[in-house]
Each structure stands twice: as C-alpha cells, then as structure tokens.
Amino acid sequence: MGQNSSHIRSGTSYTYRFKISGQEGTLWWHAHSSWVRATVYGAIVIRPKEGTSYPFAKPKRDSVVILGEWWNANPLAVIREAMRIGGAPNMSDAYTIDGQPGDLYNCSTKETVIVPIDSGETNLIRVINAALNQQLFFSIAN
C-alpha cells in the first residue's frame, strides 16, 4: 500500500482512506519510523466481496494470530548499538503471540492465546509473522 504521511503528533489521530480492489486475504501494517516498527503493527483482513464465497467451506470462526518479538531495551537503542559495533542487532528477549510473551512472564495477561476449535468445524486462522529478524514457526497442539 505504501502510504506516506507527515508525522502524527502525540494526542492526535489520522485516518488512512484507500481503496483495495481485486484482493482478499490477510495483510499487515507496521510503522515505518526506524525500529518503532518492531512493536507497532496490526492485521488487515480483506474478506471476500459480499456474494462471493471462500475457496473452501465458509469458516465458523475467523481468527488472527500475530507473532512478534519483544526487547527489554528500547528497540531504537538496540539498532543504534548494532550500528555502532557494525554487527547484527541483538536477538529479541522474547517472542510474542498477540503482544503477550506467554504464561512464563509475569507481564502477560493471566491466559495465553487460545483459539477455540471444535472437531469437524472449518476454522480460518490467519497467522502473521511480524518479527523483524526471525523466522517464527506456528503449529497447533493435538
């Protein structure tokens, strides 16, 4: 989409308006301001046009799961240090699922991400890898 605009000042908002034609599926957006993009991102879901069907059975549930990274340090400091030493940025301190690092970290909500799925149902799980430097893999238990 490549939208560019002036900076959005603190305490204000900005609405992007754009047309999408001939596409459907799962996209994602992220900030383009240095490494702030490490933690500022989200999903864009484009469903089939009304009256058009999915290329598979219509899902009972449609869920988005976003995988990401977390640094204990300011991401800008991480990239500055990498540039200073001429090496790759430090590995992230944790990986996240929908912004939460999991039940092993006391900063997470009480429950980890659960996507309910019942046997025999068609479910659509849209998985986005928003990690900056890592290939993250996704699997479903049982």
pLDDT in tens, 70-91: 888 887 888 888 889 998 777 8
pTM comes to: 0.77
Number of domains in the chain: 1
Going by pLDDT thresholds of 50, 70 and 90, the confidence category of residue 106 is low
67 lies in a domain?
A: yes
Per-residue model confidence (pLDDT) at position 126 = 95
118 lies in a domain?
A: yes
Residue 52 lies in domain: 25-129
1 lies in a domain?
A: no
Going by pLDDT thresholds of 50, 70 and 90, the confidence category of residue 107 is low
11 lies in a domain?
A: no
- Does pLDDT of 51 surpass 60? yes
Q: Distance between CA atoms of 94 and 61, rounded to whole angstroms?
A: 29
7 lies in a domain?
A: no
76 lies in a domain?
A: yes
For residue 29, the Cα-to-chain-centroid distance in whole angstroms is 8
- State the CB neighbour count (10 A cutoff) for residue 131: 17
Residue 61 near residue 117, CB atoms below 8 Å: yes
